[in-house]
Structure 1
Amino acid sequence: MEFALGFDKKTMTFEVDQDNLMGVLEPNKINVERSGAEEVKRSLLEPIGSLRLKEIVKAGEKIVIVTSDITRPMPSKIVLPLLLEELHKANIPDSDIKIVFALGSHRKHTEEEKKYLVGEDIFNRIECIDSDAENCIHLGYTSLGTPIDIFKPVVDADRRICLGNIEYHYFAGYSGGTKAIMPGVATREAIQANHSMMVRKDAKAGTLEENPLRRDIDETANILPIDFILNVVLDEKKNIIKAVAGHYLEAHKEGCKFLDQLYKIKIEHPADIVVVSAGGFPKDINVYQAQKALDNAQHAVRDGGIIILAASCKEGLGEHTFERWMTTSKSLEEMIVNIQQKFELGGHKAAAIAMVHQKARIFLVSDLEDDFVRKIFLEPYADIDAAINCAYDILGRKAKVLIMPYGASTLPMIS
């Protein structure tokens, strides 16, 4: 049987015999009444735990809209025009609005990338800027000691609106909500303090209220208020199938519930081989981003099995500290020991890959050079077919294969 997985902006095909196929982990079937711009418009008319946006903002106020960067699939160019309509109904002119791309610890955008994210019309009308970790204001600390150091234009605004897409996050539980602020527009030191909690037991994908790291993120809004959020859930083709708007906690929680209905998928037992795609561009733009699919795949593979990760990673590793850890560590075990002794942002993803490697071998099908892939402790393959055949040689010709076409989104659960 032939299958196709997202790889950069195209697809990569491969074959798995019917006898070997354990299944294809696709989203659960749910009823979707509206989608796209129509669903976004509905959410703005029916905010959760909040007044409508046009009733919150006042003429003369300075508005900041914080949205996702190029590494996220958030469809800002669809959401923003409808959000701006609401602001204009409250007599907020374009000149009083600023759009901030939440970079977190990621690289800055080119001007063309900014234009791509918001659309040419909005880019030409409204000031669009990247967050800057070097231009932040210290506002205090969370109860767990995380410094709240936030990008100055976001702090200076009269109103803060946060956009984002909701998907599983391997230690924050879910993306979206307050995450646009922390880590979105925070300093590296603040992000590092928060992310150091990833080693705690309940800091894991699909966990919200019991997650100490997520609670720490949400505490940020106690000191720097978030006036309104608009979050979306995307289907496997990156279409908006659910939008939630309103209160930064209540609306986000409803979005997470919907995500669980769609993407928490039960399997009876783990597979020998898991073939996983991050879902193509932009989720496989670099190893730093593609790691999320790898982390979800570990929940579906047996101990001693093999994960085949198909991810272009055409921009390389994607983050300088992560790159240092991946290229200078003497072993995978060293990474795990080092992250436990002294947490370092960027190194945390290297350690996360090392922890997956403790459970299963990792084959990488990418656009990276083979020698470089070996240097980062992964096993390189030119295509998925070659990787599967090698996996059969290791595990036996009767090995069972599970395919995860949307690895960055789907969360396997052993039933």
Structure 2
Amino acid sequence: MTTVTVPWGKKDTLSIELPPEWTVKAELKPRHPEKRPTLAEALERALAQPIGSPRLSEFAQRGKSAAVVVDDRTRPTPVAGIMPKVLAELNAAGVEDKNIAVVMGLGTHRPMTEAEIQERVGPAVFQRVRCENHDYKNPAKLKEVGRTPTHGIPITFNKRVVEADTVVVVGTIEAHEQAGFGGGYKGLMPGVAGEAPITFTHNYDFQKVDLIASAGLPREKCRFRQAVDEAGALLGPKVFIVNTILDPVEVIEVVAGDPISAWNYGSERVRAMNQVEIPGLADIVINDSHPLDTDLRVAMKSCFYSAMALKPGGVFIGILRAEEGLGDLRVPEGLPSFAKLLIKVLPLSLLRKVSDRLPISPDQRAGSFSFTRMLKSFHVLFYVTSMPAVAGFQNLGVEFFNDLNALIARARALKPGPAEVLVFPQGGATFIKQE
């Protein structure tokens, strides 16, 4: 019997015994350098040598106020380790703590608690400067900045961010199922954008991608990334990014500077390390969600990346840590048990219209069509121990397990006989090369 070992959260691992008739064709994971700097070393180097921009301590001399946008708890960015140095650079530019605000770039995610914010930015920073959640639905806290030139999208951003003299965006460049890569201006759009631009862009009619995921796509092939960059540019030349590149949670490099130039460099670094080529389509894919382990909504994003390695009718096995259970994922209520049959027989064009009208947040709506594609094409089995089975997902065709042996037995029944297997031990950080 073959045994594969995958991460289970930040520190633990799981060993999965596979049937003797299964052949593991490859374990596909990022290729990262063995020698890596500390966060302090990487951050100092990036801030001393920004890409396409003066040093932040010079850049921020343009005014007396600053907004620092940081990504939320669902991302692995070591924000608490970055913030003191960012504040020091702003102070050196003459921006006082009383004129600095830290905004949690939530997009449509739930508000963070005070304890979560304090942990995110660090206790000392939490005491020094104003820290607040972004609210994408509150018009009083938003301000219009114009329309994107290509698609005419009306853009509203967090008012405090718009009115700040300098905007620093702290995040991570990683694979993203809709934007190709995270990081750069994506910390602003959708991070601190209003409901209208998020809704406009988070659907199939706008993105027009006939793939389960856009992870790793270059800007010229990704309408969503184009919209993100055009939206961020509407703030003018006052944005400075500090983005980490991780393995999958430890720092490999930090890039800083211009939101386009620095991001271009960083995204190519991530592509070189995290993009994989598959030896061929597999009968079975085993995908571990690491490092996207926060909750089920986040963990499911990793599934979109590796599902493209499956043959039609194949078995997708998701090993999902989902530490906070369901999280803020909304599952439509009242789905009939025969919904899974409708997904199999109805055309994608009709299923797309249904998914775009679900009563869920825009970012979840965008993901729902990718998930529908998976359910239409494959058998989907999830190993999740942090929560009970979700009835709505079961009615769509997802099978939940809290026993690995039972899951493997079910997969074996669905795909009897010899089967070729691809394993993605860090599915949340790995993406397949797309032609």
The normalised TM-score by structure 1 is 0.91
Q: Does 1:120 align with 2:140?
A: no
Superposition map of 1:195-214 within 5 A: 195-196=202-203, 197-200=206-209, 204-210=214-220, 211-214=222-225
Q: Does 1:80 align with 2:83?
A: yes
| Counterpart secondary structure, 1:87 | helix
How far residue 363 of structure 1 moved from its aligned partner, in angstroms, is 0.2
**Which of 347, 352, 361 is matched with 1:339 structurally?**
352
How far residue 49 of structure 1 moved from its aligned partner, in angstroms, is 0.6
1:187–1:325 distance in 2 versus 1, CA, 3 Å: farther
Q: Does 1:146 align with 2:146?
A: no
Deviations 1:323-382 (A, max 9, x none): 227957944637862534783523222221111122211101113323625235311112
Aligned to 1:185: 192
Aligned to 1:228: 240
Preserved contact between residue 142 and residue 157 of structure 2 (Cα < 8 Å): yes
Q: Does 1:44 align with 2:59?
A: no
1:371–1:178 distance in 2 versus 1, CA, 3 Å: closer
Aligned AA (1:310): I
Aligned AA (1:215): Q
Q: Does 1:272 align with 2:291?
A: no
Aligned to 1:392: 412
Aligned AA (1:278): S
**Gap runs ≥5 in structure 1:** none
Preserved contact between residue 299 and residue 413 of structure 1 (Cα < 8 Å): no
Aligned AA (2:332): R
Aligned AA (1:369): P
1:385–1:27 distance in 2 versus 1, CA, 3 Å: farther
**Which of 7, 12, 18 is matched with 2:14 structurally?**
12
How far residue 126 of structure 1 moved from its aligned partner, in angstroms, is 1.6
State the alpha-carbon separation in 2 of the partners of residues 317 and 258 from structure 1. Answer: 32
Task: Give the number of equivalent residue pairs.
Answer: 411
How far residue 30 of structure 1 moved from its aligned partner, in angstroms, is 3.9
How far residue 86 of structure 1 moved from its aligned partner, in angstroms, is 1.7
Deviations 1:36-76 (A, max 9, x none): 22111101111101111111112861110101011111110
358-367 vs 373-382, which moves further: 373-382
How far residue 20 of structure 1 moved from its aligned partner, in angstroms, is 2.3
Q: CA RMSD in A?
A: 2.5
**Which of 350, 357, 363 is matched with 2:368 structurally?**
350
| Counterpart secondary structure, 1:58 | helix
**Which of 42, 57, 61 is matched with 1:58 structurally?**
61
How far residue 386 of structure 1 moved from its aligned partner, in angstroms, is 2.5
Aligned AA (1:151): N
Q: Does 1:110 align with 2:121?
A: no
Deviations 1:85-108 (A, max 9, x none): 222222322222111110101000
Aligned to 2:299: 290
| Counterpart secondary structure, 1:5 | strand
The normalised TM-score by structure 2 is 0.87
State the alpha-carbon separation in 1 of the partners of residues 289 and 334 from structure 2. Answer: 20
330-339 vs 191-200, which moves further: 330-339
**Gap runs ≥5 in structure 2:** none
Aligned AA (1:4): T
Preserved contact between residue 375 and residue 397 of structure 2 (Cα < 8 Å): no
State the alpha-carbon separation in 2 of the partners of residues 341 and 364 from structure 1. Answer: 24
| Counterpart secondary structure, 2:259 | coil
| Counterpart secondary structure, 2:86 | helix
Aligned to 1:239: 250
How far residue 193 of structure 1 moved from its aligned partner, in angstroms, is 0.5
1:99–1:328 distance in 2 versus 1, CA, 3 Å: farther
State the alpha-carbon separation in 2 of the partners of residues 35 and 271 from structure 1. Answer: 38
State the alpha-carbon separation in 2 of the partners of residues 309 and 350 from structure 1. Answer: 16
Aligned to 2:394: 374
375-384 vs 241-250, which moves further: 375-384
